[in-house]
Amino acid sequence: MKILNTEQSAKTEKKLTCLIADTEALIREAQTLRYRVFAQEMGATLKSGSEGLDCDEVDSYCDHLIVYDNDSAKIVGYTRLLNQDQAKRLGRFYSQSEFNLDRILALPGRFLEVGRTCVDPDCRGGAVLTTLWSALVQYALEGQFNYLLGCASITPGVSGYAVDAVYRNIDAKNIAAPELQVKPLIPVPQALRCQRDESGIPPLLKAYLRFGALVCGEPYWDEDFNCMDLFILLPLDQIQERYSKHYMRGRQGNEVETSVVL
C-alpha cells in the first residue's frame, strides 16, 4: 500500500489518508461511492451490469486513487488514473470515446488521464478535495508525466446547458490555442442549450483552472451521465512551483497540515 498524502485538520482532528487502492475490497468500495454519486445523485445511466457499482472495462487498467477517512473508516474521495502505457494496453484513453484527440496525443511527452472524480456527498468541503488534488499532483510529478488530461463534467441547470455562459466565466488564458482545440464526437444539441448559468464552475474544474489547465474546445454531450464534458489539458512543466506555493499557504494558515509519506 502506497500512501501518497495525509491531511489532518487542526480543529477537527479528522485524519484523511490518500492512497492507491491495492485490494479488490477497496476498489469495490470506491465503485460503490461512484455509483452513489453518478447514478443516485446525478441520475446517470450506467452500463456496469453490477447493481450498486459503477464499473467499466477501463477500471482494470487504472490506478484507483482514494481518500480514506480514518474516523468513519470509509472512502470519501476518489479519482482514477490511466497513464499512456495503461491506455495502450486498453487500446485508448477514456476521453477518446468523447473527443478526437489526434492533435493532443501528437504532443511530445507523457500523458496521465484523470477520470470519475467524486467526493462523498456528506464530506464535501475543502479538506477532501485538497487532499485528493495534492496526492494527484504528487503522483503526476513522481511519475514524470508531462500532461494531465481528462473530462470535466458540468451538470445542467433547470433551463439546460449554459455552454456559452460557462465559457464567458473561463479566463482567456485558460482557453487552448486553435492548434490544441478538439472536436466533441457529440456536441451539446442546440435545443438543450440555454443562456443562464445555473450550475456554475464545479470546484474540481476551478482547481484545474487555477493551476493553468486549458479548456480545449466545445463540450461533449454525455447523455448517459446527464452532463456536458469539457476536455481539459494541464501541462505539468511549471506546476511543481505553483503547487508548492499554494499548499504552503494552507499550512501557514494553520487550517491544514500536510505530510507526504513516500
pLDDT, tens only, 172-183? 999 999 999 999
CA dihedral of residues 53, 230, 204, 104 (deg, nearest 10): 100
Mean pLDDT of 189-215: 91
Q: Is 247 or 70 the better-scoring residue by pLDDT?
A: 70
- 6 pLDDT tier (thresholds 50, 70, 90): low
Using N-to-C axis directions, what is the helix angle for 239-252 and 126-142, rounded to 10°? 150
Nearest-angstrom CA–CA distance, 82 and 62: 5
Q: Is 236 or 50 the better-scoring residue by pLDDT?
A: 236
Nearest-angstrom CA–CA distance, 253 and 180: 38
pLDDT, tens only, 35-72? 999 999 888 888 876 789 999 999 999 999 999 999 99
pLDDT, tens only, 102-115? 999 999 999 999 99
What pLDDT score does 246 carry? 55
Q: Record the pTM.
A: 0.86
Helix (H) or strand (E) holding 230: strand 227-235
> Is the model's pLDDT at 252 over the cut of 50?
no
Question: What phi-psi label fits residue 49: left (phi over 0), alpha (psi between -120 and 50 degrees) or beta?
Answer: left
Question: What residues have CB less than 8 Å from 75, skipping those under 6 apart?
Answer: 26, 29, 30, 33, 66, 67, 68, 69, 120
Q: Is 4 or 92 the better-scoring residue by pLDDT?
A: 92
What pLDDT score does 145 carry? 95
Phi, psi of 250 (to 5 degrees): -65, -40
Mean pLDDT of 119-125: 88
- 3 pLDDT tier (thresholds 50, 70, 90): low
- 235 pLDDT tier (thresholds 50, 70, 90): very high
* Average pLDDT score over the chain: 86
Q: Is 207 or 159 the better-scoring residue by pLDDT?
A: 159
Mean pLDDT of 75-86: 96
> Which of 242, 227, 212, 1 lies closest to 117, judged by CA?
227
